Amino acid sequence: MKKLIGMLVLFISFCSQATLITLTFDKAQYQQGELIQGQLIAHDLNDTLGGFAGEIAFDHNQLALETWQFGSGFDDGFGSYSFADDSISGRLSLEDYADFFADEVVIASKQGTSFVLASFTFTAVTLGVHSVSLLNGLELISFDNATIESFSQMSTNFSVVTVDEPHVGLLFALTLVAVFFSRSRRRTLL
């Protein structure tokens, strides 16, 4: 009976340690025209990953995709098999796989318990609250090429606000003060 309970507790503890995917951005609020930097991160890893495939969606009328780059978690020094496609407006498909003959020890040390799968940059085109989503079916694949997990859709929101301009009245007042002090200084010198 003790062995059965021990095995049950061990099984439950293994099941509760799931890998998580997060979609993060460097700030929660941006100004119009500002660069928005985001990352797709895998964390709480229990196994060495061999690859991932997924798709990011965004409103192309609100955000302009500028650049993207893959993390180094699947590269053992001899490269990885990376693929990205942004030919559909508002979508960025990403895939990155370790080489079939990659050194698992090197990859495991690069991944640790958390690593960046991909980074991307947008430009804020319009004002308002914007959303970037991971679509259904993002998959993490273990190093032995068995699918570890498939994730459902998740979204991250941030806001884009107007660029603050200096108040004309304040600039005018500062100019008057500067003129006043320059005149009073000239009078004291004479």
* Per-residue pLDDT at 127: 93
Q: Is the pLDDT score of 162 beyond 80?
A: yes
pLDDT digits (tens, 9 = 90+) for 113-152: 999 999 999 999 999 999 999 988 888 888 988 767 778 8
Asked whether the beta carbons of 68 and 121 are under 8 A apart, the reply is: yes
Asked whether the beta carbons of 66 and 122 are under 8 A apart, the reply is: yes
Amino acid (one-letter) located at 2: K
Longest dimension (CA), the chain: 104
Q: Is the pLDDT score of 164 beyond 60?
A: yes
Give me the residue spans of the domains in the chain.
20-189
| Average pLDDT score over the chain | 83
Return the CATH number of the domain spanning residue range 20-189: 2.60.40.680
According to DSSP, the residues that pair with 20 across neighbouring strands are 43
Q: Is the pLDDT score of 50 beyond 90?
A: yes
